[in-house]
Structure 1
Amino acid sequence: MSPRKAAALRHGDRTLREHLIATADRMMSERGAAGLTVRAIAREAGVADGVLYNHFDGKEELLALALRARVRRVERELGPPPEPGAGTVEANLRVHVEHGLALHRALLPALAGLTAQPDVLARFAASAGPGDAWRDRLHDYLRAERDLGRIAARTSAAAATSMIVGVCHEAVLSALLHASEPSPVPVDEVVATVLHGIASR
């Protein structure tokens, strides 16, 4: 290992690849992804520019993996979602909505600079493993609750999932398009609307 590599890894026991991913993640969080260069990431990581190409096929792969690492870290901090059949559906949906909003808020600084980098976003999507996608877990939860008879048999799990995911996306798009902090989403109102609909009774 070269002196610069050794210096970069002096603290902790992670690999150089993990160190580079963590560095890119931190830089995207602090500065956004717009204008982030291989040279800047390498200097922040304390390695020579060419070292990145020993571990990644380019900046796009590194940024996609850094974004995936952020998602996994945030989800570990949030904890596992409720299991079907446990507690109440209303309380469980509240947790799912809060989970989705927190995840999207955590990704906002990076996404602000990635909208013009479709290759990074495509690689990020492709990097998802089984069970990685919050949307899929939400859909599976709703379908399981329907199978258990705790929500109406006529419920479209796909449509309900799209409604909840849309609330989370809207908060992010508002910030991206209007350059302002998204207004707090009334989680209880979202849950009540998903559960009870909008038809007059």
Structure 2
Amino acid sequence: MSPRRAAALRGGEQSLREHLIATAERLIRERGTAGLTVRLIAREAGVADGVLYNHFADKEELLACALRARVRAVESGLGDLPGAGTATVEENLRAYIVYGMRLHAGILPAFAGLVGQPAVLARFADPGGGGGRPGGDWRDRLLAYLRDERELGRLAPDARIEAAARMIVGVCHEAVTSTFVHGYARPAQPPGDDEVGDLVAAVLDGIAPGRRPGRRPGRRPDRQ
């Protein structure tokens, strides 16, 4: 099928490059990335195999673009994240944690099949290509949120926000990746209220009796 005819079938709303990315993103959503071939993408897009190489340097570039599209698609369905100074810190941290868990549950299946394809992951993570680590924007926004709350005085001035962010990110990763590491057939489950509440309490209150949040014996506080 010629590029002109492919565009006509789509009503002219997308360029052929965008159509190929959208097709690959749909296949990743439906089938994952394992075994995804140029031939399959071309067939689903309604073009000849060689057409892909008129728009992408190689299969890795196309898959990296499709992964970015997949991440954006998942993020678009998660709603907005709260800003510093709104609601309470506890309520806002709950929102960030739920968002992070749902984000990773949505995008991890796309990356699970790429363990043996480092070239695709490298293309995805290339800053010049508009990529980044999976969920990186959420992690950066969480860290910025904690910094802003500290500046507003709603967190202790010596609060160890880097450590708090790593704790939250780690829990979100663990809750999702465990379903794949242990070979569970069911998808990752959304976090329960008690689970989220316990994590928020651990972050805000600490776990040692009588210790001020954000301080460790013998260590200087973070200087952000």
**TM-score > 0.5, shorter chain as reference:** yes
RMSD over aligned Cα, in angstroms?
Answer: 2.0
Unmatched tracts of structure 1, length 5 or more: none
User: Which residue, out of 127, 131, 146, partners 1:128?
Assistant: 131
How far apart are residue 80 of structure 1 and its match? 2.2
Q: Distance in 1 between matches of 2:48 and 2:7?
A: 10
Structure 2 partner of 1:155 = 159
Asked whether the equivalents of residues 32 and 113 of structure 2 are also in contact (C-alpha less than 8 Å), the reply is yes
| 2:28 aligned counterpart, secondary structure | helix
Structure 2 partner of 1:7 = 6
How far apart are residue 50 of structure 1 and its match? 0.9
Q: Deviations over 1:130-184 (max 9, x none)?
A: xx71111111111111111101112122111111111111123212211114465
In the alignment of these two chains, the number of paired residues is 199
Residue range with higher mean Cα deviation, 132-141 or 158-167:
132-141
| TM-score between the two structures when normalised by the length of structure 1 | 0.90
Unmatched tracts of structure 2, length 5 or more: 211-224
The one-letter code matched in structure 2 to 1:51 is: V
How far apart are residue 69 of structure 1 and its match? 1.0
Between the aligned residues of both structures, percent identity stands at 60
Work out which of the two has the higher radius of gyration on C-alpha atoms and give 1 or 2. 2
Distance 1:5 1:101, change over 3 A: farther
Find out whether 1:191 has 2:205 as its counterpart: no
Q: Distance in 1 between matches of 2:30 and 2:204?
A: 38
Structure 1 partner of 2:95 = 95
Asked whether the equivalents of residues 6 and 46 of structure 2 are also in contact (C-alpha less than 8 Å), the reply is yes
Asked whether the equivalents of residues 101 and 190 of structure 2 are also in contact (C-alpha less than 8 Å), the reply is no
What are the equivalent positions in structure 2 for 1:102-141 lying under 5 Å apart? 102-126=102-126, 127-128=130-131, 133-141=137-145
